Amino acid sequence: MQDALSARVPGARIDVRTVETGPPTLIPISIRVLGENATTLHLEAERLKSILKSSPLAINIRDDWGNDAIRAHLEVDQDRASLAGLSNQDIAISSYSGVSGLPVGVMREGRKNIPIVQLMNYGQRDTATALNHLYVYSSQAPQNVTLGQIARLTYTPEAVEIHRVNQYRAITVSSLAKPGHLASEVTDPLTPQLRDFESHLPPGYRMEIVGELKEQLKGQRQSLNVVIASVIAIYLALVFQFKNAIKPFIVFGGIPFGAVGALSGVWLMHMPLGFMVILGITSLIGVIVSHVIVLFDFIEERHEEGEQFRDALIDAGILRIRPVLITVGATVLALFPLALHGGPLWEALCYAQIGGLTLATMVTLIIVPVFYSIFVFDLKIVRWEDRPKQIPTGSRLFSAV
């Protein structure tokens, strides 16, 4: 559709894009140059355009100032105007009335007031040079002269619109990625050229990367704050539960594997690393921690019963594997329909959770007992005190009898 519209509608800027599922960005690839001089900004924008044009994946390259428009300026010869008895106000009123029209009265027709406007007729306003034949009337002298006798029209190119950001003049060069490609596939190979462009900007000018990349970095920073707050809250809850400040770090040992699994799932399914993927990784933390707590709770129970450390670890891995696998299996199977038919909003999140849960579960059942034994035997940070093994009540009665 993009190729067809660009070919059949010449002279128009037509952008064909898919529905955005994250923070709205008008143009995905946008680079802004800030400064004061409009001519210098135009030159730097052309350099940026040439850099983007070197990428085969960039299309619809443009800037937000547009092409220069031809402006007509009236240069008054003050000496001739003074000899003719004309002031600048007389010239301004006459030229304005000839081009735009000057109200001179009102005609009443029934309940309507129809303004009477004085201006040149349509035949005389076909070209700008017709202003040379416009008569200028003096308010101080009876004579009148044509505008071409006392003034000269000059034509210069000027910017149609000038944008400002934080009180600085700013021109934004933007582009779209070809269908089927991401904005990062365009900007990543061009990063060395963009850094070189930024280093050679004149004094007082600077470059900013905006658009999709800026929103992505902003979302990642916000998500990082959420992750840090969640980890701290989970740590404090585990400290109160285990009554130990070291054991929560063993619980957190499975979180990196969940993140690796989530990124692997996203990479295998060719999903972009966006906000939904980060949200999926954040939600994985609680699920992984809950599975580890299942193992820890069983180990602590066996500790209270006086079982040996090695036996407690082995029993935890064997007896708790079924509830953990059932929970993970049900979650992963339920995520597949949502990933396949839930639309682009949920695809990345579902695949991140599927990959993270699958890898983290397999690794947690093996790695966490190993970490626990390292903390107990090698590092000796966690103490395991052997306690007398408790005998069930039924066995005590049988032995007593």
Q: What one-character DSSP code corresponds to residue 377?
A: I
Give the residue from 123, 157, 191 where a domain finishes.
Answer: 157
237 domain residue, yes or no:
no
Let me know if 351 is exposed, middle or buried by CB neighbors in 10 A (0-12, 13-18, 19+): buried
Give 398's pLDDT tier (boundaries 50, 70, 90).
very low
Tell me what pLDDT residue 274 has: 67
Provide DSSP, 215-227: HHHHHHHHHHHHH
Residue 276 clears pLDDT 70, i.e. is over it: yes
129 and 6: one domain? no
pLDDT tens digits along 123-150: 666 666 677 778 888 777 777 788 888 8
Mean of pLDDT values over 115-122 = 79
42 and 180: one domain? yes
Containing structural domain, residue 91 = 69-157
268 domain residue, yes or no:
yes
313 domain residue, yes or no:
yes
53 and 186: one domain? yes
226 domain residue, yes or no:
no
Rg (CA), the chain: 38
User: Which position has the higher pLDDT, 394 or 78?
Assistant: 78
Cβ atoms 71, 154 nearer than 8 A? no
Nearest to 295 by CA among 394, 384, 371, 379: 371
Tell me what pLDDT residue 154 has: 82
37 and 107: one domain? no
Give the residue from 119, 140, 157 where a domain finishes.
Answer: 157
233 domain residue, yes or no:
no
111 and 9: one domain? no
186 and 300: one domain? no
239 domain residue, yes or no:
no
149 and 168: one domain? no
CATH code for the domain in which residue 371 is found:
1.20.1640.10
23 and 166: one domain? yes
CATH code for the domain in which residue 182 is found:
3.30.70.1440
Q: What angle do CA 352, 246, 244 make, to 5 degrees?
A: 115
pLDDT tens digits along 339-384: 888 776 788 888 888 888 888 877 777 777 788 788 877 777 777 6
338 and 262: one domain? yes
Q: Is the dihedral of CA 319, 322, 325, 330 positive or negative?
A: negative
For the chain, how many structural domains are there in total?
3
187 and 153: one domain? no
92 domain residue, yes or no:
yes
200 and 320: one domain? no
CATH code for the domain in which residue 144 is found:
3.30.2090.10
273 and 370: one domain? yes
225 domain residue, yes or no:
no
Distance of CA 327 to the CA centre of its chain: 35
pLDDT tens digits along 186-199: 888 888 888 899 88
